[in-house]
Structure 1
Amino acid sequence: MMQTVHTSSHNGITSLWLDRDGLCTGTLIFGVGMRDEPSALAGITHLVEHVLLRLVQPAAVVHGGTVTTDSLQFYAVGKPEDVAGFLNAIAVAVSTFEAVTDEVIALEKSVLEAEDPHKFSTVSSGFQHCLQRLIDLPVRNERRGRRTFRGTGHDRSDQS
């Protein structure tokens, strides 16, 4: 027997569902993921996931979140009304994200560091090499007609 996929819209968000027996499973997917992160903010989507999950605690359902290359996803499993309540709470947390305190962000950053301490312990040698090359690039000092090299604190007398 083939199941029918039902479609509706709630507050501008398209919902798809199947009627089936047993526990309800729901997922809220945002079309933003790791590929959308600027390199200077790598991991920011994972931090946002953690902060949003903290904002909706306690939750009455089995739940979680995940970040992929293409998306940020939140899921819940339980009674249909509990799953809907959890996903609605995530939507509310997203819409009020600017109210998140520095303390909550600091707490979740420490959780991420504990998850994978090697990501935060040192800067990779390749990145450090690129950073040093950027520091040593000449910058035109128009006032004196000399080149200033960032990071050295010295002007070089060669004219450019």
Structure 2
Amino acid sequence: MQNVPDLVNQQLNALLQDETDMVANMANAAALLNVSLDQINWVGFYRYNSENNELILGPFQGNVACMHIKPGNGVCGTAFSEKRAVRVADVHKFAGHIACDAASKSELVIPIYKENQPIGVLDIDSPILDRFSEKDEAKLSQFVDIFIKHID
């Protein structure tokens, strides 16, 4: 199994150069990860909507997905509310997992906050068990840090 490629963070930085629109950057970031990572079936963003206090589906690559997630619910809501990455080897063993795609077996979610303000989460699903390593989590956390530098 291939981990996150070493160049993906450099590619993101170059790709987002001179662009600060969050939706445009989310769309290109999701596309970049989709073509760069093996053994994934969904990659994308959920954006925080403060009016409804929920995560709402943002740009993604993959099958149709759940559109609304409350903070604290599922893997995405847990990562968001606890402000920490959540790496799940087997989503069926994660209490409260929200099954948007029955093919997903493992998941990695990185919360996105800019200057302590909630932005959302980066969510990546895989159809194989235990797809994401500690190294993947570290590189994708750096990926999110780079992403944050390129949004208003």
- Taking structure 1 as the reference length, the TM-score comes to 0.25
Structure with the greater alpha carbon radius of gyration: 1
Q: Which has more helix, going by share of residues?
A: 1
